[in-house]
Each structure stands twice: as C-alpha cells, then as structure tokens.
C-alpha cells in the first residue's frame, strides 16, 4: 500500500509538471558579436529596415517623435509600456539574474538622452532572452525626426557549416586510409 501511494505521488508530480508545461527552460543570454542598429531621422518606422527585428514578436523602432516601441505588437509608443514585450535594466546580460528590470521609460527615467553610453540589458520576455544594449544616439525635440541608434549583442553563432563539413571529410579520409592500408595499398 505504501509503495502504491509513493508511485501515485510520483505520477501526480510528473503529471503536474506535464500540465504546467514541464520544467522551466533556462534563460538565454545573447553574447555573440555586437551590431549597431540605426533608425534615421524621419525614416518610416513601419519599414522593416527601420525596425530592429530581434525575434518574431519584438521589432524595436521609433516614430518621428516620442520614444521606442515594438512595431510587431504596437502601432506607437505607449507611456510606461513600450516597447511591449521587453524589460530593461542597467548592467550586463551576463548578470541578468541579479538585475532589477522595468519598462523602458522607467529605466530611462524619462530622459532618453541620459541613456547614451549607458550599459544596459534588454530582456525579451516571451523568448526569455537577455542582450546587452548601449544607446549611441538619440534625436530629441519635436522636430528631430525620431532618429536613434544603439549597439547590441546578437545570438551566439552556430558552428560554421564549413567546420562541420571539414570534420565529415576528415572522418571519411581517415576511414579510406585505414581501408587502403588494411588492403596492403599505400595511402595517397
């Protein structure tokens, strides 16, 4: 009876984990090469080249006035919300677990110009991705055209296909040499 109860308890725990979506996935830190994204003044924020398309649901851009927003989910900046689906903190993505995150406007303390040169972290909430961001420019004023730029980290690159092919070729060549020497034929 005690064995049956223990088994039922384990099945209940496993079942609960399955119903809740299973174990939580680990956060991802983008620590790949840094790139610079620039949205020029008066550039159309609806055009893909003027959006930093980080994931399928986070496209950072800015209209001709106000602050940045997520063009994948918003049509304009919304105070204390935009960019929707992101959170911001000062620091390094490598230290994400010890940082305090807020919406972009709160993080910027209502002073976007003061964010220039500041080491920051953007959290892409739905994907649970953390990346380093540093604003490089911010056009301010009602007639500035909404230009801005930042440098950010990217995903860690996958191993190059060439490296994989080199490994396959080396394995095949080694196999061919072993077969040739085993047959009494000198390798090339």
pLDDT tens per residue across span 59-91 = 999 999 999 999 999 999 999 999 999 999 999
What's the pLDDT band for 6 if we cut at 50, 70, 90?
very low
Q: What's the whole-number average pLDDT of the chain? A: 83
- State pLDDT tens for residues 28-67: 999 999 999 999 999 999 999 999 999 999 999 999 999 9
CA–CA separation, 174 vs 178, rounded Å?
6
Residue 83 near residue 90, CB atoms below 8 Å: no
What phi and psi, each to the nearest 5 degrees, are found at residue 66? 65, -160
- Sequence spans of domains, the chain: 26-161
Peptide bond into 83 cis (omega under 30): yes
Q: Please state the rounded mean pLDDT for residues 150-169.
A: 74
Q: Are 131 and 29 in contact (CB under 8 A)?
A: yes
Given a cut of 60, whether residue 98 has pLDDT beyond it is: yes
At 178 the pLDDT is 52
Contact indicator for 30, 154 with CB cutoff of 8 Å? yes
- pTM (predicted TM-score): 0.73
**pLDDT above 60 (res 137):** yes
CA distances from 91 to 15, 25, 58, 88, 181 (A): 39, 23, 21, 10, 59
Alpha carbon separation from 96 to 50, 123, 130, 152 (Å, rounded): 28, 9, 7, 15
Which band of pLDDT confidence, cut at 50, 70 and 90, is reported for residue 13? very low
């Amino acid at each position: 009876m005690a064995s049956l109860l223990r088994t039922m308890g384990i099945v209940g725990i496993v079942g609960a984990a399955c119903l809740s979506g299973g174990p939580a996935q680990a956060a991802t830190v983008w620590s790949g090469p840094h790139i610079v994204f620039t949205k020029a003044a008066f550039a159309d924020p609806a055009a893909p080249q003027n959006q930093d398309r980080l994931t399928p649901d986070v496209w950072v851009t800015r209209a001709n006035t106000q602050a940045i927003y997520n063009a994948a989910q918003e049509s304009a900046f919304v105070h204390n919300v935009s960019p929707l689906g992101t959170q911001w903190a000062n620091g390094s993505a490598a230290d994400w677990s010890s940082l305090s995150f807020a919406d972009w406007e709160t993080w910027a303390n209502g002073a976007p110009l003061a964010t220039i040169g500041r080491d920051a972290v953007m959290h892409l909430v739905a994907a649970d991705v953390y990346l380093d961001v540093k604003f490089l420019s911010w056009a301010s004023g009602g007639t500035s055209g909404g230009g801005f730029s930042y440098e950010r980290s990217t995903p860690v690159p996958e191993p190059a296909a060439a490296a994989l092919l080199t490994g396959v070729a080396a394995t095949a060549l080694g196999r061919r040499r072993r077969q040739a020497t085993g047959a009494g034929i000198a390798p090339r």
